[in-house]
Amino acid sequence: MSLILAFGMMGFLVRALFLIDWSFGPPWKLLAPHAGVVATLFFISWVLGTRHSECRQKLLISEIMVFLLPAALFLWKTYNYICQCDPVIGLQTAAAAFPGDTVIPWLILMQLYGVYIPNTTRHAGVVIGGMALLGIGSALGIGLANDQVGEILFHSGGMSAIVLSLSIGAAISFYGSHRADRLRRDAFDAKQLGSYRILRKLGSGGMGEVFLAEHHLLKRRCALKLIRAEKSENVQALKRFESEVKATAKLSHPNTVEIYDYGHTQDGTFYYVMEYLPGMDLQEIVDHYGPMPPNRAVHLVGQVASALEEAHAKGIVHRDIKPGNIFAAERGGLYDLAKLLDFGLVKKTEMPANAERLTLEGVVVGSPLFGAPEMTSDGVTDQRSDIYSLGATLFHLLTGRPVFNGTSPMRIILSHMHDERPRIRDLQPDIPEDLESIVQRCLDRDPNKRFQSVRELNTALATCGIGKTWTQEMAADWWTRNVDLDEENIGDDLAASTQDSPGKEMTPEQMIAETIEMK
C-alpha cells in the first residue's frame, strides 16, 4: 500500500512540474515537501518489504507515517495555493479548481486506507472519519479566509459538493474496510482452522497458544493449540511442536491427554486438537488450596506413573513433568482423573546422539524446579529422569513448595546438582514415613539409586500405607465443594498447561552470566 501511494504521489509531483510557470522561479516551498514525502514513502516501502516485522507498535508507527505525511502535504499545498496567493498559479484559477483539488486527494487516501489496512471497525471509523473531517475542515477554513474561494464554496454549491463527496467516500471506505475485515476473519476460520470454530483464547506459553474450539459438525468442545506466529519461521521450534503432537498421538493410555486431530494450514501454521479437560492442573490446586492430603497426591501421581509406563515402553521420555503439566479432570463421572499434558520436550530413547540437538542445542530443557540433575549436567536422560521429576512433583503436592527454591533458574539447577534434599517430614510431620522414603528415593541424585522404572515406582505407591485409600466419593466431594465444573465457567485452567515455568529455557550465555554472578 505504501508503495502504491509512493508512486501515486510521484505522479502528482511530475504533473505539478509540467503545470508550473517557471518564469516565476521554482516554487521550492511546494516542490521540496512533495519530493520529501515521495522519498519517505519509498523508504518506508523498502523497510516494510525487506525488514518484515510483526511488532504491532512498529506497524502502527508505519501506518501513521504513511497516511499522516500525505495528509500534511495536502493541507500545506492548499494553504500555499490559496492563502498565500502564490504567483505560480493564478488565484482565480486556484479558487475555481479548489473543490475538485480538495476532494480528490482525500478520496484517494481514504480508499487506499479502507482497502489495504487490516482494522477493527472502530479503528477504521476513527481514521477514515478523521480524514473526511480534515478535508471538510480545511475547505471551510480557507473559504472563510479567502473571499474568492468563499464565493465559490458558499454561493456556488462548492462546499456542499465537498461535504457530500467526502462523506460518501468515507462511507464507502469504511464499509470496504469492514467487509475486508469480515472476509479475513472468515478466511482464517475456514482456511486456517479447517473444521474447527474458535470460541475463545485459553492461554499461551513458550511454544504455542491454546484456544477453546468446537468442531463444526460434531459440536464437540476441544482445545486447539497453534504455534506462535513469531516462531513460525523457527525451524527448530516447529519441529519441537510437531514432535509433541506426534509423540502424544501414539499414546492411548487414559491418563494421557487425547489427540483428536493435527495438521498444517495452507500458510504453514501447525496446529493440533486435543480433548477439552474440565478441571484444574495440580499447580493451580496447590496454589489455591494448599498441600494435598497424602492419599490424594499418591492417587494422582500413581495415574501419571501409569501413563508414563506406556510412554517409556514406546521409547518416549517426557522430560517436563511438573504439577502444571498434570491435569486433574472430571471425565465420564470420574473425578480426579489425572491427565498428563505437554509432550513438547519429548525425547525418544532410541534416537541417535545428534538428534537430541533438536531440543538441547542452546537451551536447558524442562523446568529447573522439577528437572533431574543429569538433564543439565551431562544431558543424558532416560526414564529415570522422569522418575526424578515425578518425585519432585509429589514433594510439591505434599508440602506446597518445590524441593529447592531460588531467585534464578541457575541457582535452582545448582541446588538440584549439589545441595542436600530437604526431608518432607521436617516440613509436614504428618506425612507417613514409607511415603517419605519413596519420595527421597525418587529424588536421589544418582539415577542408579532411584526406582528403575515407573512400574516399580507405581507398585511402591500402591503398596504403601495410604495407597489406594483416596476414593471416588472423596474426590467428588472435594470437587463439588470447591470447583464449578460447568463447561461454560471453566477452560481457562488449561492455560496453565502452556505457561512457561520460571526459567524453562536458558541460553548458554545466561547460564554463564548467572554462574559468574554467583561466584
Active site residues: 320
Cite the DSSP H helix spans in 318-453. 357-360, 374-377, 383-399, 409-418, 424-427, 433-442
Are 388 and 442 in contact by the 8 Å Cβ rule? The answer is yes
* CA pair distance 327, 393, nearest whole angstrom: 13
Alpha carbon 402 to its chain centroid, in Å, reads: 28
Q: In angstroms, what CA-CA distances link 252 with 306, 339, 386, 511? A: 12, 12, 19, 38
Q: For cell 477493527, name the residue.
A: 120
Question: CA neighbours within 13 Å on the CB side: how many for 187?
Answer: 8
Collapsing DSSP states into helix, strand and coil, what is residue 169? helix
Are 255 and 340 in contact by the 8 Å Cβ rule? The answer is yes
* CA pair distance 316, 348, nearest whole angstrom: 5
Collapsing DSSP states into helix, strand and coil, what is residue 212? strand
Burial class (CB in 10 A: 0-12, 13-18, 19+), 82: buried
* CA pair distance 364, 354, nearest whole angstrom: 16
Residue 442 one-letter amino acid: C
> Which helix (H) or strand (E) element contains residue 337?
strand 334-340
* CA pair distance 29, 23, nearest whole angstrom: 16
Which among 225, 131, 115 is positioned nearest to 179, based on CA atoms? 115
* CA pair distance 444, 450, nearest whole angstrom: 6
> Which helix (H) or strand (E) element contains residue 237?
helix 235-249
Residue 342 one-letter amino acid: D
Are 223 and 212 in contact by the 8 Å Cβ rule? The answer is yes
Residues with Cβ within 8 Å of residue 473, at least 6 apart in sequence: none
Which among 104, 32, 114, 42 is positioned nearest to 73, based on CA atoms? 32
Residues with Cβ within 8 Å of residue 33, at least 6 apart in sequence: 73, 76
Are 384 and 400 in contact by the 8 Å Cβ rule? The answer is no
Are 390 and 457 in contact by the 8 Å Cβ rule? The answer is yes
CA 277, 278, 279, 284 torsion-angle sign? positive
* CA pair distance 149, 441, nearest whole angstrom: 92
CA angle, 310 then 316 then 319, to 5°: 110
